[in-house]
Amino acid sequence: MTLKGGATSACAACKYQRRKCIPECLLAPYFPADQTKVFQNAHKLFGVSNIVKILRSLDPSQHAEAMRSIKYQANVRDRFPVYGCLGVIRQLYYQIQMLEEEMHTVLTQLEMYRQHHHHQQQQQQHQHQHQISSMADDVISQLELGMAPSNNALPLFNQVTHQPYTMQNTYSSSDIDSPPKENVENNSLWIQHLFLDTNNHGTSNNDSPIAIQSQLLVPNSEPLADTQHQVVQDYDEIHPFFDSIDDRQSYIDTKDAEDSS
Amino acid sequence: MSSSSYSSSPCAACKFLRRKCMPDCIFAPYFPPEEPQKFANVHKIFGASNVSKLLNEVPPFQREDAVNSLAYEAEARLKDPVYGCVGAISVLQRQVITLQRELDATNANLFRYAYNEMPPLRPPQPPPPSAAGQSSGFCYPYQWNDPSDEDNERSSGGNM
C-alpha cells in the first residue's frame, strides 16, 4: 500500500498482506517490493508470523544473516518441494564421498610411483658407491705394494669432489620436495666416503665428517627446508676440503651459504 | 467422541492441536503419536497449515520424505535459529571445495610423476577460511537470482 505522496512503496511482505508498511517494518529491509517471488517462497514455507517470531528471538545484528538463510531455505524448498535443503545436504555428502575415494586412489598410485623412484635412486647410489669403492681398493692395493700413487689417485679426488657437486645439483633441482629421508641417506653415504679419504690423507678435519654424519642421520622427520639448510651447512663445514682441490666447488658452497643465510 | 469403529489413537499432530483425528487426516501417516516432538518442532517453525499445504502439493508416495525433510529442517532451525540447516550446507560446500583443490593438486603431481619422472610436489595447503567477498563467509551452493519477471521463474534452473 503506497503512501499518498508516493514517497516509499510497501515492502513485498506488506504488499502481499495488503497492509500499510510502517517504517519499523521488520521485514521491509529483507523483502524489497521487487522481490515478490522470494517473499512468496518464504511465506509459503515459514509464514510471516513465524519469520517475525524467529527474528524477534535474535539479536538485531543477526537479523540479516538469519533472513539470508531463511530466504535461501525457502527458495530451495520451492525448487525441490520434497527434499528441500536436505536434498542439497545429501548431494554434498555424496560429492565428498566420491572426492575422498578418488583422492585415495590417486594417493595410492602416487605412493607406488614414489617407491619406484626411491628404489631407482637407491640402485643408482649403490652402483656409484661400488664404483668408487673399487677404485679406492685399487689405490690402497697399489700403496701397499709400495707403488707410488698413480695418476688415478687424482681422479679419485676429482670423483669425490664432484660427488657433492652432483649431489647438490640433484638435491636442489629435483629433490626439492622429495621426502627428507631420501636425501639424508644419500648424504650420509657421501659423507662416509669423505671420511675414508680424510683418514687416508691425514687431514686435520677428521672430526667434522663424523659430526656431519651424526647430524645428518638424526633429522628424519624434520621438514624438508630444515634438512636442506643442514646440508648446505654441512657443505660449509667441509668447505676447507675442497678449497685447494676444486675452485668450482668452493664457489658453489659459498654461493649456497649466502643463499641459506 | 470415539466410536467403537474408531479406536485408533489420534496422531501427534491432532494431539498437539487438540482436535479430532479424522480418518483422512493428512498428518496421521507421518506423525505417529509415539513421536510428539517431531510435529511440535515442525509446527513451531513452519506451522501446521503450511505443512498441510505443502503435503497436499506433493504426490502421496513422496509425502513421507517431504515430512522427514521438514522435520530435519525444523530441528536444525531450532538448534541454530540464525542459520538452521543452511549452516551445514555451507560447511559441506567448503569441504567440497577444499577436497577438489587437493585432488586437483594431487592429480597434477601424479601426472608429473608418471610422465616426467619428476618427484611429486607437496600438495598446496588448504586456504584459510576467509570471509572476503561474503558478509558471513557462508558458501551457498545454489544461487537464487530473484526474478523480477515471470520468465526467470521458468528458467531458474540457472546454477541450481
Confidence label for A67 from pLDDT (cuts 50, 70 and 90): very high
- Mutant choice from B42, B75, B83 vs A, greatest count of A C-beta within 10 A: B83
C-alpha cell at A110: 602416487
- Mutant choice from A11, A86, A114 vs B, greatest count of B C-beta within 10 A: A86
Place of cell 638424526: A218
Residue B41: strand, helix, or coil: helix
Confidence label for B45 from pLDDT (cuts 50, 70 and 90): very high
CA distance A245 to A173: 25
Question: Complex ipTM, two decimals?
Answer: 0.75
Question: A260: distance to nearest CA of chain B, Å?
Answer: 21
CA distance A25 to A34: 16
CA distance A83 to A76: 9
Q: Are B66 and B58 in contact (CB under 8 A)?
A: yes
Residue B104 to residues A73, A100, A177, B109, B110, Cα–Cα distance (Å)? 31, 12, 18, 9, 10
Percent of chain B at pLDDT exceeding 70: 68
Q: What sign has the CA pseudo-torsion A48, A49, A54, A58?
A: positive
DSSP letter at A26 equals S
Q: Of A13-17, A157-161, B68-72, B113-117, which one has max mean pLDDT?
A: B68-72
B132: left (phi over 0), alpha (psi -120 to 50) or beta: beta
pLDDT computed for residue B118 by the predictor = 59
Range 164-223 of A in CB contact (< 8 A) with B:
174-178
pLDDT in tens, A103-152: 999 999 989 888 888 888 888 888 888 888 888 888 888 887 776 555 55
Number of Cβ within a 10 Å radius of residue A165: 16
- For chains A and B, count residue pairs whose Cβ atoms are closer than 8 Å: 157
Largest CA distance in chain B: 83
Q: Are B27 and B33 in contact (CB under 8 A)?
A: no
CA distance A1 to A19: 6
Q: Which chain B residues are within 8 Å of A66, Cβ to Cβ?
A: 81-83
DSSP letter at B97 equals H
Domain boundaries, given as residue ranges, for chain B: 9-79, 82-119
Of B66, B92, B144, Cβ closest to residue A75: B144
pLDDT computed for residue B144 by the predictor = 55
The model's pTM is 0.58
Identify the burial level of B32 via C-beta atoms within 10 angstroms of its C-beta, where 0-12 means exposed, 13-18 middle and 19 or more buried.
middle
CA distance A112 to A100: 18
CA distance A211 to A90: 58
Domain boundaries, given as residue ranges, for chain A: 12-79, 86-145
Q: Are B38 and B12 in contact (CB under 8 A)?
A: yes
Mean pLDDT, all residues of chain A: 68
pLDDT in tens, A168-212: 444 334 443 333 344 434 443 333 333 334 444 444 444 443 343
Q: Is B57 on the interface with A (CB under 8 A)?
A: yes
pLDDT computed for residue A230 by the predictor = 42
